[in-house]
Amino acid sequence: MRTINLICFGLTTYLPTMVLAASTAPVASERALREECSAFSQAGMRDCLAEKAEARQKALKRAEEKMAGTLSKWDEDNKYVNQARAKLVASNRKFAEYRKAQCEFAASLSGGGAGNSHELGRLACISELNNRRAQQLRDAASDLPLK
C-alpha cells in the first residue's frame, strides 16, 4: 500500500510538469508529426503534413536568409566572411541533396504500404529535416559577434 501511495504521490507531483514540458517542446520528429496529423483521414493527413512541410520550408528559407545577412554584419575580416558565404551556399545545396536522398529512404521504409504511406513518410521527413537545419542555422547565427 505504501508503494502505491508513493507512486500516486510521484505522479501527482511530477506528471503536470512533464506534460507541460512536452506540450511546450517543438514538434520535431517524423513520428510526432505523423501523430499530430493522424486525426485526419488519409487525404487530410497528407494535406496536414504537406502544410507542415511547406511552413518549415519557408522557415528554413528565412533562416538561410538571416544567416546570409548575419554574415554580412559579422565582425571578421572580409576574407573569412566571403569564405563563410561561399561555404553557406555550398552547405545549403548539399543539405537539399541530403534531404532528398534521406527522405526517399524514409519513404521507402513504408514497404508495400497502401495509399499515401510513402508520401506521408516523405513529407514528415522533409518537415523534420528542414526544422533541424533551420535551428542549426539560427544557432550558428546567434553565436557570431557582429560589427
- Model confidence pLDDT, tens digit, residues 27-50: 458 888 888 888 878 789 899 999
Cell digits of residue 22: 512536452
Q: What would the mean pLDDT of 69-73 be, rounded to a whole number?
A: 96
Q: Are 18 and 92 in contact (CB under 8 A)?
A: no
Cell digits of residue 53: 512541410
Residue 62: per-residue pLDDT:
97
Residue 119: pLDDT over 60: yes
> What is the CATH number for 135?
1.20.1270.180
Cell digits of residue 72: 554580412
Cell digits of residue 106: 524514409
Q: What is the mean pLDDT of the chain?
A: 83
| Residue 15 covered by a domain | no
Domain around 46 = 29-142
Predicted TM-score of the model (pTM): 0.77
Query: How sure is the predictor about 54, in pLDDT bands with cuts at 50, 70 and 90?
Result: very high
| Residue 20 covered by a domain | no
Residue 103: phi and psi, rounded to 5, are -75, -30
Dist CA 105 CA 124 (whole Å): 12
| Residue 74 covered by a domain | yes
| Residue 8 covered by a domain | no
Q: What would the mean pLDDT of 70-80 be, rounded to a whole number?
A: 96
| Residue 7 covered by a domain | no
| Residue 12 covered by a domain | no
Q: Are 98 and 117 in contact (CB under 8 A)?
A: no
- 45 Cβ neighbours under 8 A, 6+ residues apart: 34, 37, 38, 116, 120
| Residue 56 covered by a domain | yes
The more confident residue out of 139 and 33 is 139
Tally of domains within the chain: 1
